[in-house]
């Protein structure tokens, strides 16, 4: 469905990605794990057309999206929830959700989907008129995910959704990712919480300084000695 081949990205001459290959099949959860600075966010940004690709190809259903405009990529249904919950702080929860649907013009469908999102995140419903900037970190993360869902994505990419959340909320966010997946969504999840990510992933990739060093089924990677030692804090 979405395939990334031999992706190279650099920042001012410094190589961040040195030829990576990732394949994301429909209705799967795929995770990309790795240490700080390995190149996980760069991979997502390259797919979204937010940074220039030096070499390689991004293909979606056989259509070449390499170095296309971000807006065109969003219109294809590929959506990113960026790291750090970038919500519109001065707008209400509901206004943030409505803005999430900026690529659509079916008002009835938009209202229906807002209700669906409130079912997924009852906390957002209770706070629909609250300014997003006054929500807690976890609530803002939920809103960022909810807003991305308003686009009705075909592939939902999430950059570190559990970052900075209390343990209970980390569990909630992973439960929600599973729920979104069970509704038929394809997910590319970037996480530093390798254990939780691999537990829910069909397939995983391990990135080290811009190169893929390992890949396999989520459950298999969880049992891999190298993964255990380097990413799961087990020897
Ligand atoms: P983290 O988990 O810390 O977010 P990451 O795996 O997502 O890390 P990236 O953010 O993709 O890693 O960064 C990969 C490399 O590219 C790092 O060495 C980083 O310093 C560098 N880098 C990222 N963005 C820029 C930029 N805008 N300008 C210069 N260098 C950058």
Span 127-149, pLDDT tens digits: 999 999 999 888 899 899 999 99
Is the CB of residue 34 below 6 angstroms from any atom belonging to ligand 1? yes
Q: Supply φ then ψ for residue 47, to 5 degrees.
A: -60, -40
Is the CB of residue 140 below 6 angstroms from any atom belonging to ligand 1? no
Mutate to test the pocket of ligand 1, among 38, 81, 159, 193 (most ligand atoms within 8 A of CB): 38
Distance 166 CA to ligand 1 centre (A): 25
* b/e map 112-145, b = 16+ CB within 10 Å: ebbeebbebbeebeebeeebbeebeebbbbbbbb
Averaged confidence pLDDT in the chain: 92
Distance 192 CA to ligand 1 centre (A): 14
For residue 7 the two structure tokens come to 């992706």
Percent of the chain with pLDDT over 70: 99
ipTM of the complex in this document: 0.92
Span 58-96, pLDDT tens digits: 999 989 999 999 999 998 999 999 887 789 999 999 999
User: What is the Cα–Cα distance from 132 to 128, expressed in whole angstroms?
Assistant: 9
pTM of the full structure: 0.91
pLDDT score recorded for residue 80? 93
Is the CB of residue 38 below 6 angstroms from any atom belonging to ligand 1? yes
Rounded mean pLDDT of 102-117?
87
pLDDT score recorded for residue 20? 96
pLDDT score recorded for residue 167? 85
- Between 24-28, 40-44, 98-102, 184-188, the lowest mean confidence (pLDDT) is in 98-102
Integer CA distances (angstroms), 23 to 49, 101, 136, 157, 221, in order: 17, 27, 35, 13, 16
pLDDT score recorded for residue 62? 87
Distance 82 CA to ligand 1 centre (A): 13
């Amino acid at each position: 469905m979405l395939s990334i081949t031999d992706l190279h990205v650099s920042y001012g001459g410094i190589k961040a990605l040195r030829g990576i290959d990732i394949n994301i099949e429909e209705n799967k959860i795929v995770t990309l794990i790795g240490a700080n600075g390995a190149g996980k966010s760069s991979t997502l940004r390259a797919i979204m057309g937010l940074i220039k690709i030096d070499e390689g190809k991004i293909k979606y259903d056989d259509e070449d999206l390499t170095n296309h405009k971000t807006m065109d990529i969003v219109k294809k249904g590929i959506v990113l929830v960026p790291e750090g919950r970038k919500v519109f702080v001065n707008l209400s929860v509901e206004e943030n959700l409505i803005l999430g649907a900026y690529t659509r013009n079916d008002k009835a469908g938009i209202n229906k989907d807002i209700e669906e999102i409130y079912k997924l995140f009852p906390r957002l419903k209770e706070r629909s008129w609250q300014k997003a900037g006054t929500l807690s970190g976890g609530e803002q993360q939920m809103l960022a995910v909810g807003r991305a869902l308003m686009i009705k994505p075909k592939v939902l990419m999430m950059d570190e959704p559990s970052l900075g959340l209390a343990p209970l909320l980390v569990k909630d966010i992973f439960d929600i990712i599973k729920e979104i997946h069970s509704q038929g969504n394809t997910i590319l999840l970037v996480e530093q919480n390798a254990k939780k990510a691999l537990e829910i992933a069909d397939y995983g990739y391990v990135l080290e300084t811009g190169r893929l060093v390992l890949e396999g089924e989520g459950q298999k990677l969880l049992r891999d000695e190298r993964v255990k030692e380097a990413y799961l804090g087990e020897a």
